[in-house]
Structure 1
Amino acid sequence: MTKSFEGMNMRNQNLKTVVKKCLKRIKLLVNRFNSTSSNESSSSQPPAPKPIPYIVTGDPTDIQLLFEFSERYEKLYIFGTDETAQYLLKFFDECGVRIDALITRLPSEINLSKKNVGVIVACYEHNAYNAVNSLKKTGCKNIYRPSDLTLWATANKMRPRPRERMWIEINLADHCNLNCQFCDHYSQLSKPYCLDISTYERDIKRLAELSNGHIGILKLQGGEPLLNPDIAKFVRITRKYFPKTKIKLFSNGILLKKSETFEGGNLLQAMKDCDVSLRLTIYPLTIDIAEVVKTAQQYGIQVEEITNYLQGAVKADSDSLSKLEAKVSVKHPFDLDGGANKYEWINCYQLNESIVLRDGKLYTCPQTAYIHIFNEKFGTNLELSDDDYIDIFEAKNYSELSEFCAKRTSFCRYCAVHKRSPHQWKTSTRRIDEYIL
């Protein structure tokens, strides 16, 4: 009798567990597909959803499910009426997935009731309920509605940047006076290298010609850019060709005080004259960061933000400085065999954001621009292809540049985006295991 009761209790506990899981799943589905009348809006694109972690910009699990869905059906369609659907179509095309048609109205001439037909609904949640119901009335049974975060991230990444949203970074020095693990510019692995000023002026002049002398932000960085003794001249050249663009100098601040007497001129004075702001990255060092900020502010230089990656950016005041947490770095592992899933690329936070200008070419991320440093250090051969960059001297206009930056390149096959992870800052071992799976 006792054994019988024990068995019943065990079955009851198992049943309770199953029921809890089912209820949780039902709740998720209801929240995802249902839309109350109070939430309905004429707007097709709501405010950007909050990204999940810092190291990705979309919903990795949903992206994976979306592509698993796309593989099940012989015929695949996207249903949507605005640019969200257009950019989702572009995303599938970049990933080599054939979409048979983009459906913009119902009923459609296409028979959607067949078993081998799948339809992806490119509508945000406030419009999704009506869209899904309309598809069901046509007899369509195989429907997938991506999350709002997936739709937003896909459109945001696939949309070519207008000039005011284009941010371009330039290494003035590849090497650094620190030794950080996971540096995605490979600065701790680099031999001493400073950008040639004549090469820089040639490139920045051409970039100005293509963009009418204005983009959103130009970032002067490294490595540690203050290791380039001519940095004051670089600042003045940049402002010469981009009179209205925001120019930001990224630095760890260690050499800032000494930069008053650099060979190429007083950097702080050049920054003041050219309205260049300072952006500091904080490391767990003995440097007095408050004194660094004070030195810059004595020249009237704007110290806009103190960057500490996962913590975000804070203003350069004493109260904010006291609240800074320990520096966090992100590991960007490579799949040395080049086997990364094509769709994972859309979750890369650097995509269409961290655009690099180097030697007359634009690269979509620092990994491609500086991979030669990695290859030389570790004897690897992560190859660059012609589609991994665009030559600014061959480009005819700004549109060509912005279109290129919103594309997947061949090098993306090496990046295991889904395996990126944050770590507390520490010094680098300069071993390859910092960069591989």
Structure 2
Amino acid sequence: MSGIIAGNSRSEQQLFELLKTIPDENILCFLSTESGDETLSGLPVLPYEEGILLYRSGKVDHFYITPGEKLKADATAYTFLRLGVAESDIWYVSQDYDITPFFERRELSYLEYQVADNCNMNCSSCSHYSNLIKGNVLSDYESTRNGFLKLKKYVDNICLIRVLGGEPLLNPDLDKYIAMNREIFPYSRIEIVTNGILVRSMPDHLIRSIKDNGIVMNISFYPAMKEKMAEVTAHLDSLNIPYFVSPMINEFCKVTDPSGSQNSADSFKKCTWRYCTMLRDDRLGLCAFSFLTKYFNEYYKEFHLPESGSFSLNDPDLTSEKIMRRLNTPIEFCSYCKQPGDPCEWKHGPAGSGIPRDIIIDQP
């Protein structure tokens, strides 16, 4: 048996050391999308295209996919399937090195959920439509906890959990949410994605929970925070809270097409958010649009976007495999989503306001 390991990060190197101990398993190479080392652990590092050619020639039987440092397992598998690799020849290796057929795995690479739908930045082209919301719209803790417990029946681990908004620091119970995440999924990396405005005013109980539960602050750097970001990071340094700051976000992308004229399969293939799985109460969705289009519909009465795209974790026929397949299938909204989107300059405004040309494609 001859295999290829997709990726060339540290986790793939560790996988290679494990596979060397399996009789009759012969690993030919690693695959990489980036130029760099030509060899790794004594094996060649090849472009993905060459790996596919080896498979088509019969020199390779199967591929191994790990979550990897960039959490691209789903995207990699989708690419392999699209290029003709048989589903039975794609194997997933979890963070604890459990090897299973890709769609039978019990590990999600990524999950996000919102604890506040509204925001205090109100970016004019917000892809979550947070700028269209007036007032506080906060999640319900017990409903969210119940959703995570139900998900745990089908998923043993989530590599990365991101707590989002809107602005998550607007939720006064955020400390309870992150403690709950750590309790139910103890091995996940957990990040709070924030614009940084409220970081310096975080209450003591939230700071304790962040530190006790090993949370990382993921700061989206918008131009409005240019003069204040140094103070934000200095405050986190003083608290010994780990964080990272994105590059300055000067540009957004508009994707919303109320006409529904986009090719759904093509949009799904090109989408940068197609594996941004979202949990909301006891429902799971392919992305945020599975849940948040209602805010667009409430604000723009003359347009209507589908409010479908999620499925219930209460379905008695649900299995781990069905979840993985649903999350690799386009939803109705894909026909209303232009990918790649139209770039537009970042700006922000008052809460509960939106100009069509800032959110909808092809608007004058």
TM-score normalised per structure 1: 0.58
Change (3 A) 1:130 1:271: closer
SS for the counterpart of 1:205 is helix
CA contact (8 A) 1:181 1:425 kept: yes
Which residue of structure 2 aligns with residue 272 of structure 1?
A: 211
2:312 maps to a residue whose letter is D
Which residue of structure 2 aligns with residue 381 of structure 1?
A: 304
Which residue of structure 2 aligns with residue 390 of structure 1?
A: 311
Following the alignment from structure 1 to structure 2, what is the Cα–Cα distance between the partners of residues 127 and 166? 23
Which residue of structure 2 aligns with residue 124 of structure 1?
A: 49
Question: Structure 1, residues 375-411: CA drift from partner, whole Å, max 9, x if none?
Answer: 11111221234xx212112263332222211111122
CA contact (8 A) 2:122 2:131 kept: yes
Question: Structure 1, residues 199-240: CA drift from partner, whole Å, max 9, x if none?
Answer: 11111221223213x211111110000111111111212112
**Does residue 422 of the first structure (1) align with residue 346 of the second (2)?**
no
CA contact (8 A) 1:181 1:329 kept: no
Which residue of structure 2 aligns with residue 434 of structure 1?
A: 358
Match of 2:141 among 175, 186, 197: 197
Which residue of structure 1 aligns with residue 230 of structure 2?
A: 290
- After the TM superposition, which residues 338-357 of structure 1 pair with which residues of structure 2 at under 5 Å, given as runs? 338-344=260-266, 345-351=268-274, 353-357=275-279
**Does residue 336 of the first structure (1) align with residue 258 of the second (2)?**
yes
Change (3 A) 1:48 1:267: same
Which residue of structure 1 aligns with residue 72 of structure 2?
A: none
Q: CA deviation at 1:250?
A: 0.7
Question: Structure 1, residues 268-291: CA drift from partner, whole Å, max 9, x if none?
Answer: 110001111111111112552222
Change (3 A) 1:160 1:331: farther
Match of 1:188 among 131, 134, 144: 131
CA contact (8 A) 2:154 2:320 kept: yes
Following the alignment from structure 1 to structure 2, what is the Cα–Cα distance between the partners of residues 161 and 329? 38
- After the TM superposition, which residues 195-234 of structure 1 pair with which residues of structure 2 at under 5 Å, given as runs? 195-212=139-156, 214-234=157-177
CA contact (8 A) 1:235 1:274 kept: yes
Determine which structure has the larger strand proportion and give its number.
2
Which residue of structure 2 aligns with residue 410 of structure 1?
A: 332
Following the alignment from structure 2 to structure 1, what is the Cα–Cα distance between the partners of residues 52 and 109? 31
Which residue of structure 2 aligns with residue 306 of structure 1?
A: 245
2:273 maps to a residue whose letter is Q
Change (3 A) 1:329 1:44: farther
SS for the counterpart of 2:131 is coil
Following the alignment from structure 2 to structure 1, what is the Cα–Cα distance between the partners of residues 176 and 56? 58
Change (3 A) 1:291 1:129: closer
Following the alignment from structure 1 to structure 2, what is the Cα–Cα distance between the partners of residues 409 and 332? 19
Match of 2:119 among 159, 162, 176: 176
CA contact (8 A) 1:45 1:124 kept: no
Question: Structure 1, residues 288-333: CA drift from partner, whole Å, max 9, x if none?
Answer: 2222223223333211x2123xxxxxxxxxxxxxxxxx42333232
Unmatched runs of 5 consecutive residues or more in structure 1: 1-41, 51-122, 133-149, 309-325
Determine which structure has the larger helix proportion and give its number.
1
Following the alignment from structure 2 to structure 1, what is the Cα–Cα distance between the partners of residues 326 and 124? 30
SS for the counterpart of 1:426 is coil
Following the alignment from structure 2 to structure 1, what is the Cα–Cα distance between the partners of residues 178 and 51? 48
Following the alignment from structure 2 to structure 1, what is the Cα–Cα distance between the partners of residues 207 and 104? 31
Change (3 A) 1:297 1:342: same
Change (3 A) 1:48 1:423: farther
CA contact (8 A) 1:328 1:424 kept: yes
TM-score normalised per structure 2: 0.69
CA contact (8 A) 1:218 1:245 kept: yes
2:313 maps to a residue whose letter is I
CA contact (8 A) 1:124 1:151 kept: no
CA contact (8 A) 1:216 1:246 kept: yes
SS for the counterpart of 1:430 is coil
Following the alignment from structure 1 to structure 2, what is the Cα–Cα distance between the partners of residues 46 and 151? 13
Question: In terms of Rg, which structure is larger?
Answer: 1
**Does residue 258 of the first structure (1) align with residue 182 of the second (2)?**
no
Change (3 A) 1:349 1:130: closer
Tell me how large the CA RMSD over aligned residues is: 3.1
Following the alignment from structure 1 to structure 2, what is the Cα–Cα distance between the partners of residues 166 and 339? 31
1:190 maps to a residue whose letter is I
* Matched length: 281
2:112 maps to a residue whose letter is E
Q: CA deviation at 1:125?
A: 4.6
Q: CA deviation at 1:151?
A: 8.9
Following the alignment from structure 2 to structure 1, what is the Cα–Cα distance between the partners of residues 51 and 161? 37
Question: Structure 1, residues 38-75: CA drift from partner, whole Å, max 9, x if none?
Answer: xxxx989962436xxxxxxxxxxxxxxxxxxxxxxxxx
